[in-house]
């Protein structure tokens, strides 16, 4: 019975390393998804001449359908903002956007800097003219590109590191307790 417990603890440590590596990959995938959504939002605003609530609704629907878990959350964010804009017309867009970004789950795979960048997207969007909205969207895309490039560069080494640390910790525990 003792050995079964030791093997279970070692397995949990190993699984923790793989879990940490998976969270790193999820963060990259979420940023890629948000980048794609903002490109689509830009197209809706600039080329389809959609109002901001219409564009948010269209992008939210498109990117929520067929996704589940954390990958459906960005689409839900856009849809929640659209709904609140239509229901609460007296509240400025940036306030609604910031509140909804802050409502993202704590376990959502974004760093504090990623959340801040997403939150700042709403500061100049919604009240300015189309050119300013385009510049705001392009600035967000530029910031996101930098984060994605960094994460992709670090992804392989960090994934290996987390997995190896998990396995090493599990093996160390086995050696020490057996």
User: Distance between CA 75 and CA 157 in Å, rounded?
Assistant: 30
Q: Taking Cα atoms as reference points, which of 15, 6, 12, 32 lies closest to residue 162?
A: 15
* Model pTM score: 0.81
Percent over 70 (pLDDT), the chain: 98
First to last CA, the chain: 12
pLDDT score for 126: 67
Confidence of residue 8 (pLDDT cuts 50, 70, 90): confident
The candidate with the shortest Cα–Cα distance to 118, out of 96, 105, 101, is 101
């Amino acid at each position: 019975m003792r050995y079964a417990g030791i093997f279970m603890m070692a397995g949990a440590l190993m699984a923790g390393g793989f879990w940490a590596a998976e969270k790193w990959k999820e963060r990259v995938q979420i940023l890629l998804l948000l980048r794609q959504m903002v490109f689509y939002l830009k197209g809706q605003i600039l080329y389809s001449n959609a109002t901001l609530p219409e564009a948010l609704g269209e992008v939210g629907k498109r990117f929520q359908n067929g996704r589940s878990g954390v990958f459906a959350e960005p689409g839900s964010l856009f849809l929640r903002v659209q709904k609140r804009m239509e229901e609460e017309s007296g509240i400025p867009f940036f306030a609604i956007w910031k509140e909804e970004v802050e409502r993202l789950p704590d376990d959502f795979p974004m760093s504090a800097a990623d959340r801040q960048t997403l939150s700042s997207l709403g500061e100049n969007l919604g009240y300015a003219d189309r050119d300013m909205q385009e510049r705001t969207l392009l600035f967000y895309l530029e910031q996101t590109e930098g984060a994605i490039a960094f994460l992709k560069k670090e992804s392989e080494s960090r994934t290996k590191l987390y997995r190896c640390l998990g396995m090493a910790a599990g093996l160390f525990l086995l050696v020490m307790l057996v």
